[in-house]
């Protein structure tokens, strides 16, 4: 064959590298690099957001489950698969702080959010060791309340644990008001009754809107 003896300009199908064609090739290369960079940046941003949610969620966890708990976003997407029964969630805006729930507490959460009946099948403990978010909290007496009022005993709690049990009568004798230095019963008389166990100081409270 003679093709190896021909100059590049004599090769079949050779297109002269005119300034216009050179510009097109450079543009294609730049666009290709930009697409690759954008893909890497998007992946990095997604990973960064995922890492931030994981870090936020694990603020709720005691040291004993930090390494073993699963972590999920609030839409139910698993961000980190764990080996224990606990799943930790980042703080939902305007509701609470980050939280770590076992399977029984996740049943409780689904029932509460859906306004469905609930009875615990066993004693279970949840952790909110970062406390409530400053713009969150809950009414101590009304599971459906979403904002503080003068008569719904709104509380922004500090670091705490929560306990549910199949037999709420075991809470008898424990205060049902938040003006106490120890544990108190929240949502007494409802399917979502549980024991609040503060383990650190209570933060500054939200102001009550004027009526």
Degrees, nearest 5: CA angle 13-15-21: 145
Let me know if 16 is exposed, middle or buried by CB neighbors in 10 A (0-12, 13-18, 19+): exposed
Residue 193 near residue 120, CB atoms below 8 Å: no
Give the closest residue to 101 by CA, choosing from 93, 136, 113. 113
Q: What is the pLDDT of residue 78?
A: 96
Q: How high is the pLDDT of residue 13?
A: 52
- Residue 75 vs residues 57, 71, 151: alpha-carbon distances, Å: 14, 12, 32
Q: Which residues of the chain have pLDDT under 50?
A: 1-11, 14, 36-41, 43
- Domain presence at residue 86: yes
pLDDT, residue 210, reads 67
Domain interval for residue 100:
55-198
Residue 13 maps to a domain = no
Check the CA dihedral 64-67-69-72 and report its sign: positive
Q: Please list, residue by residue across 119-138, b when 16 or more beta carbons sit within 10 angstroms of its beta carbon and e when fewer do.
A: ebeeebbbbbbbbbbeebbb
Identify whether 61 is part of a domain.
Answer: yes
Provide the pLDDT for residue 31.
Answer: 55
Residue 178 lies in a domain: yes
Rounding to the nearest 10 degrees, give the CA dihedral for residues 73, 75, 80, 83.
110
Asked whether residue 65 is domain-assigned, the answer is yes
- For residue 188, tell me if it sits in a domain: yes
- The whole-angstrom distance between residue 49's C-alpha and the CA centroid of its chain comes to 11
- How high is the pLDDT of residue 6? 41
Query: pLDDT (tens digit, 9 = 90+) per residue, 3-60?
Result: 444 444 444 554 555 666 555 555 566 555 555 444 444 545 556 889 999 999 999 9
In a domain, 109, yes or no: yes
Whether residue 19 is contained in a domain is answered as: no
Q: What is the pLDDT of residue 20?
A: 60
Q: How many domains does the chain have?
A: 1
């Amino acid at each position: 064959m003679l093709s190896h003896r021909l100059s590049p300009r004599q090769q079949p199908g050779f297109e002269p590298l005119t300034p216009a064609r050179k510009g097109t090739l450079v543009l294609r290369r730049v666009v290709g690099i930009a697409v690759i960079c954008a893909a890497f940046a998007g992946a990095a941003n997604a990973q960064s957001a995922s890492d931030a949610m994981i870090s936020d969620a694990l603020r709720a966890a005691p040291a004993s489950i930090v390494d073993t708990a699963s972590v999920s976003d609030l839409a139910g997407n698993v961000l980190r698969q764990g080996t224990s029964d606990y799943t930790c969630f980042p703080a939902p805006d305007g509701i609470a702080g980050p939280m770590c729930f076992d399977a029984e507490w996740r049943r409780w959460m689904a029932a509460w959010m859906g306004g469905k009946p609930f009875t615990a099948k066993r004693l279970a403990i949840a952790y909110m060791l970062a406390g409530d978010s400053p713009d969150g909290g809950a009414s101590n007496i009304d599971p459906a309340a979403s904002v503080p009022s003068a008569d719904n005993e709104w509380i922004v709690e500090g670091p705490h644990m929560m306990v549910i049990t199949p037999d709420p009568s075991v809470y008898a004798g424990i205060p049902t008001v938040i003006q106490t230095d120890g544990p108190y019963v929240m949502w007494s008389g409802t399917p979502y009754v549980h024991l609040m166990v503060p383990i650190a100081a209570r933060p500054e409270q939200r102001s009550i809107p004027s009526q």
